[in-house]
Structure 1
């Protein structure tokens, strides 16, 4: 996994630079997401890994309709270098670069039950104040948390769940 991330990094940076040059980061983001989903499919992986597959055919399989010429050339470069399997890692790193450039923090809020929109708005406002950036929130439900929520915003994890509090109490008592 680490090797794949290392190999993907220069491609992600190049893709981001090309997308910014053309002022099409959002379009590239969507195109990379599509190509990444296709490349991650087991049947497509078998086809993409076949040594007789023509790079132009691989690009035709992965490029979404309406993709710009720079994007298809980028996919062609990946195909020529046999790096199409790195598309999921390239896409992830591209999105990190885009979020950094747009000054956006992506946070995942996992709660024991569905949170009302007012609570999500309050969490979003608090995170915006803490990070000084716009915040995009993704939500998830995990009943094992019992109550409260866990917020994962990049390098920062805030565990306000009842499960987490009980685990910390148990750890303190067992010392």
Structure 2
């Protein structure tokens, strides 16, 4: 996995720079997400390295419908195909998305809670996190009954465990040590 990320990083950076220069960050994000989804299909991944298929023909599978043959994105896909890098499209897409969010000063935060968070609580949380991190916040909620109550907030490098399960574990540790 780390080697795939190493291979993907310069291509993600190049795609990001090209999209930023053309003021098309969102457009490229959608196209890369589509291409990454195609690359993840087992039927398509079986074609990687097949000598009977020309790289340009293989690259055409990853372009969204209606994409011009001479567009920057199609040229990018052909470059990936020529260099044998189409299999790392999912990693390129993920790295590109991270660069895009950084550029837009948006922090993606995963919030696991035992029960669904209503809109008011979500907005209060968003504002508190925005104040703490100084960036716009995009919340990805998920339900995890195993945490019993409260929430676990994962903001990349920072994890805030406000769950009942986490509090019980800290209490147990304090009592036993």
TM-score using structure 1 length: 0.96
What secondary structure is seen at the aligned counterpart in 2 of 1:113? coil
Stretches of structure 2 that go unaligned for 5 or more consecutive residues are: none
Match of 1:5?
A: 5
1:150 aligns with 2:158: no
Aligned 1:68-87 pairs, distance under 5 A: 69-87=71-89
Alpha-carbon displacement from aligned partner over 1:102-148 (angstroms, at most 9, x marks no partner):
11111111100111111100110001101111111111101101000
What secondary structure is seen at the aligned counterpart in 2 of 1:47? coil
Alpha-carbon displacement from aligned partner over 1:35-58 (angstroms, at most 9, x marks no partner):
001101122111234232211221
Give the one of 113, 123, 141 matched to 1:111. Answer: 113
1:138 aligns with 2:140: yes
- Separation (CA, whole Å) in 2 of partners of 1:150 and 1:88: 27
- Separation (CA, whole Å) in 2 of partners of 1:86 and 1:17: 18
**Post-superposition shift, 1:171?**
2.0
What secondary structure is seen at the aligned counterpart in 1 of 2:64? coil
Match of 2:18?
A: 18
What secondary structure is seen at the aligned counterpart in 2 of 1:53? coil
- Separation (CA, whole Å) in 2 of partners of 1:89 and 1:152: 21
TM-score using structure 2 length: 0.95
Give the one of 96, 99, 104 matched to 1:97. Answer: 99
Residues matched between the structures, number? 175
Find runs of 4+ consecutive structure 1 residues off by over 3 angstroms. Answer: none
Bigger helix share: 1
**Post-superposition shift, 1:63?**
0.6
Cα RMSD (Å) of the superposition?
A: 1.2
